A and B are shown apart, each in its own frame.
Chain A
Amino acid sequence: MLANIVIQFMNGLAGASSLFLVAAGLSIIFGVSRIVNFAHGSLYMLGVYLAYTLVEFFGRSSIFGFWGGVLMAALCVGLIGVLIEIVVLRRIYRAPELFQLLATFALVLVIKDAALYIWGAEDLVGPRAAGLRGAVEIMGKRFPQYDLVLIAIGPVVLGLLWLLMNRTRWGTLVRAATQDREMVGALGVNQSGLFTGVFFLGAFLAGLGGAVQLPREPAQLMLDITVISDAFVVVVVGGMGSIGGAFLAALLIAQAKAFCIGIGDVSIFGTVFSFSKFTLVVEFVIMAVVLVVRPWGLLGKQQGVQRGAFMVEPPLYPLNQTFWIVVLAIVVLLGLIPFGGDNYLLVLLIDIAVFALFAVTLHFLMGPSGMVSFGHAAYFGLGCYGAALALLKLKLPMELALFAAPLAGGLGALVFGWFCVRLSGVYLAMLTLAFAQIAWSVIYQWDAFTGGSNGLIGLWPSEWLKNRAVFYAFALVLCVGSILFLWRVVHAPFGYALRAGRDSALRADAIGINVRRFQWFGFTLSGAFAGLAGGLFAFSKGSISPETLAVSRSVDGLVMVLLGGVQTLTGPVAGAALFTWLQDSIARNTEYWRAILGLTILVIVLAFPQGIAGFTKQVAARIGVMRREAV
């Protein structure tokens, strides 16, 4: 028994090292550049793949070949980080935060397809480390030699990073820039050089974290998303910008995972409770608990607004008569399409209607309410499953089952939102991600009730809706009606209160608005309508799977909203239409649709670094200046 515990503990330590390396890199990059680098998991993935190739190249059987390959892989990833910084991110440091996020999403897509092109879709199993293939005996149990080395790597890197940050001029500048990068520039320090260096270090650490995992896990294309969510959790639990905190959090989470695997199935009062299934959620449960108890993470400090990075949301224009007339005209036009369109076009249009509603509900949170959700797919997916289970398990007619969709989405948002509105900014976004992952893994693993990874099938609409064109009209009416309702809410007193809370929580509080409660209701409302979108989606497809609430779906939603522009009401609808159409038309023609989509987004981001709304405003300001000068 004791031996088992010791071995699980050692396993936990070994797992923590790589996790710490990735998280430390993410944390350092965030600290200085304030960019939440979604592509950090992709850099890790590149580390694994490059190590696979380079170890082969240097010779897998020699010690030099293995470690040389690992180090070279990490260095290459560091240089890729530099390239990314110089080509993309440097141009958008002054852009709105969410726009930067969009750029790093785009990088995720591009890097994934680059890896697919170079290394193929098959998992690549790496060699075991030369000279460390054996195992040692610890209390009568065998423990891999290589894992002992891994255990040492974490603390060694932590020590080196501490020296770098506290005993060198470069480290001092990095810490200063984390607090006030504008002032550092005014004191004569070249920020560009500093930022490039920081990206090299962060990417190097991600690459190293991936490369050292090569003997333990195969190189595969899903690593980017799994690793980035793990790394986010570690950084948030440890406290943004705290390297020591990242180490502590990595230990805590790796230990919790190791013990869940170690304990396995336990029978409590006759019911079998599977701890090994719990591994998929345990880190998110830890994060949720930590964020509620210590909102800034274990060793983090309250984040002030970084100097020189201040953004003011422009006001929304009131909805006037012209607006309603234009909307009405477009809806009528859309309603006429079935009479001329083919079946394929109808499928696409239904998708667009559903995702437009999904994007608008997300925008309702991100824009007017000021709460960015990284896990909005949870409410969409809960809607899918709510409707599906009502139909299949409760045997309700389809029309009634559809009511279960907003109910399920809204209920989920009511519960999760209660926790989320206690936080703000990146921390809030992370908590939404955590809850989405928890919901996902419950559905993914509860085979008996939700069908597990296979999902649920046989979700067909009632007889009168069987015809595609009729279903399209049905979906259109519901989606457009919901979208218009949400837009109206933004301009109702409830919407004013939400926007006041976003712009200045303190002042809103001072004039008697219970900001938290309004945000909570806003969150719930958004979740309910996202659920409705999910319900319509389920009945339009006939089957659903846990994919409907996976991280990638949440990311899709974010891309839709950001592409269209978070500062306008109609933007998310346009973004959803463009995204759905692009995804559909590119995906049919090439295997590499992600890369094309990613590159398109990058071009848009680089061409309009202030966002499309910001760009038009800049042009207007220019014209204003020219006029004044002419007078």
Chain B
Amino acid sequence: MLTVEGLNTYYGRAHILSDLALQATAGEVVVLLGRNGAGKSTTMKSVIGLVPAESGAISFDGARIDRLSPHRIARLGLGYVPEDRRIFTDLNVMENLEVGRQKPRDGAPTWTPERLFELFPNLGRMKDRPGGRMSGGEQQMLTIARTLMGNPRLILLDEPSEGLAPVIVEQMARTILQLKAEGLCVLLSEQNLHFAQMVADRAYIIEKGRIRYSGTMAELAADAAVREQYLSV
């Protein structure tokens, strides 16, 4: 579904991603693991087009998307949930959802506010609350719900567990599995191996902008040396 090959991205002269390659196929949850500053968020931003790649190929459903602007990529059914949530704080919950709304899409679940409130019951109880007056966990739910309003086929989740209370993290894990059950493909980035093990099928480990390891979650669980080398703090 999503194929990234030979991706190179720069911030000014700083080389952030080097020859990065990864794949995600329909129906699976793939996690990009790595420490702070490894290049996880930049990978996500390169895929959605917010940080244009210098070279390399990004394909979504067989079509090249690496030269498209973010809104065109989003309209192909690729949803992006930013790490820092970027809720519209002046807009209330319903209005935030409205900004994300797109037409129903073949081959992807169709979301309405009502269906999303089943997934995130908290949000349904605060439809008129401005985004700026919500807790961090509520904002994290809203940012995912907002992206789902675009009826994506693949969703990029940038560190969804960051800064959340343990009970909310568990709820987040359940949500991701529910999305998978709906048929969505999920590519998420994480530092939290424990969280990744709850939801992911496969993992890539990224360090200094390069993919260092790729395998199933079971393989990674069995490979203590890799975990020690790339993930322990």
Q: Smallest distance from the beta carbon of B145 to chain A beta carbons, Å?
A: 12
Residues of B within 8 A of A172 (CB): 91, 95, 98-99
Q: Is the CB of B82 within 8 A of A186?
A: yes
**Residue among A178, A188, A191, A621 making CB contact with B150, cutoff 8 Å:** A188
Q: Mark interface residues in B134-151 (1 if CB within 8 Å of A CB, else 0).
A: 000000000000110010
Tell me whether B74 and A186 are in contact (CB under 8 A). yes
Contacts of B99 in A (CB 8 A): 172-173, 176, 184, 187, 189
Tell me the number of A-to-B contacts counted with CB atoms below 8 Å.
68
- Produce 1/0 per residue, B11-52, CB < 8 A to A: 011010000000000000000000000000000000011100
* Measured CA separation A169–B80 after assembly (Å): 21
Kindly identify, within residues 52 to 76 of chain B, every residue whose CB is under 8 Å from any CB belonging to chain A: 54-55, 69-71, 74-75
Residue B88 interfacial (CB < 8 Å)? yes
| A628–B9 CA distance with the chains assembled, in angstroms | 13
**Nearest A residue to B84, CB-CB:** A307
A629→B54 CA distance, assembly (Å): 11
A295 CA to B50 CA in the complex, in Å?
33
Which of B12, B48, B71, B146 is within 8 Å of A191, CB to CB? Answer: B71
Q: Are A175 and B91 CB-contacts (below 8 A) given A187-B150, A188-B150, A621-B12?
A: yes
A191 and B69 CA atoms in complex are apart in Å by: 10
Given contacts A175-B88, A176-B99, A183 and B71 within 8 Å (CB-CB): no
Query: Per-position contact with A for B85-105: 1 when CB-CB < 8 Å, else 0?
Result: 010111100011011111000
A176-198 Cβ-contact flags toward B at 8 Å (1 or 0): 10111011111111110000000
Question: Which residues on the A side are within 8 Å of B70 (C-beta)?
Answer: 182, 185-186
Contact B88 A176 (CB under 8 A): yes
Taken together as a complex, chains A and B put the C-alpha atoms of A629 and B8 apart, in Å, by 11
**Is B10 engaged at the interface, CB distance under 8 Å to the other chain?**
yes
Residue pair B75, A188 in contact (C-beta under 8 Å):
yes
Q: Which of B10, B12, B71 contacts A189 (CB 8 A)?
A: B71
Q: Which residues from chain A contact B90 at a C-beta distance below 8 Å? A: 175, 178-179
> Which residues of B from 172 to 187 have beta carbons under 8 Å from A?
none
User: Which residues of the other chain, B, contact A190 by a CB distance below 8 angstroms?
Assistant: 71
A397 interfacial contact with B, CB 8 Å: no
| Cβ–Cβ contact A625 & B54, under 8 A | yes
Check B69–A183 contact: CB distance below 8 A: no
The chain A residue sitting closest to B99, CB to CB, is A176
In the assembled complex, the CB of B46 is this many whole angstroms from the nearest CB of chain A, namely 12
A481 near B: Cβ within 8 Å?
no
Nearest A-chain residue to B78, judged by Cβ: A188
Interfacial chain B residues near A179, Cβ < 8 Å: 88-91
Number of contacting residues on B, CB 8 A? 31
Tell me which residues from 121 to 172 in chain A have a Cβ below 8 Å from any Cβ of chain B: 169, 172
Interface residues on A, range: 20 to 34
Q: Are B88 and A185 in contact (CB under 8 A)?
A: no
Q: Is the CB of B13 within 8 A of A180?
A: no
The answer to whether the Cβ of A264 comes within 8 Å of any Cβ in the partner chain is no
- Tell me the complex Cα distance, A182–B88, Å: 12
Q: Is the CB of B74 within 8 A of A188?
A: yes
Q: How far is the CB of B112 from chain A (nearest CB, A)?
A: 15
**Would B50 and A180 count as touching, CB distance under 8 A?**
no
* Contact present for B48 and A187 (CB under 8 Å): no
Q: Is the CB of A185 within 8 A of B86?
A: no
Q: Determine how close the nearest CB of chain B comes to the CB of A6; give it in whole angstroms.
A: 39
A624 within 8 A of B: yes
Contact of A183 among B49, B86, B102, B150 (CB under 8 A): B86
Give CA–CA (A172, B93) in the complex, Å: 12
Known A-B contacts A173-B99, A621-B12, A621-B13; A186 and B48 likewise in contact (beta carbons under 8 Å)? yes
Q: How far is the CB of A495 from chain B (nearest CB, A)?
A: 25
Q: How far is the CB of B50 from chain A (nearest CB, A)?
A: 6
CB contact between A185 and one of B12, B13, B71, B102 (< 8 Å): that residue: B71
Q: What residues on B are CB-neighbors of A188 within 8 Å?
A: 71, 74-75, 100, 102, 150
Contact (A186, B98) CB under 8 Å given A175-B91, A179-B90, A180-B88: no
B76 CB, min distance to chain A CBs, angstroms: 9
Q: Which residues of A contact B50 (CB under 8 A)?
A: 182, 186
B-facing mask of A292-319, CB < 8 A → 1, else 0?
Answer: 0000000000000001000000000000
Chain B CB within 10 Å, residue with most, of A172, A178, A191: A172
Q: Is the CB of A187 within 8 A of B100?
A: yes
Which residues of B line the A interface, CB within 8 A?
10, 12-13, 15, 48-50, 54-55, 69-71, 74-75, 80, 82, 86, 88-91, 95-96, 98-102, 146-147, 150
Q: List 28 A-B contacts (CB under 8 A).
A: A172-B91, A172-B95, A175-B91, A176-B95, A176-B96, A176-B99, A179-B88, A179-B89, A180-B86, A180-B88, A185-B69, A185-B71, A186-B48, A186-B70, A187-B71, A187-B146, A187-B150, A188-B71, A188-B74, A188-B75, A188-B102, A189-B99, A191-B71, A621-B10, A621-B13, A624-B13, A628-B15, A629-B55
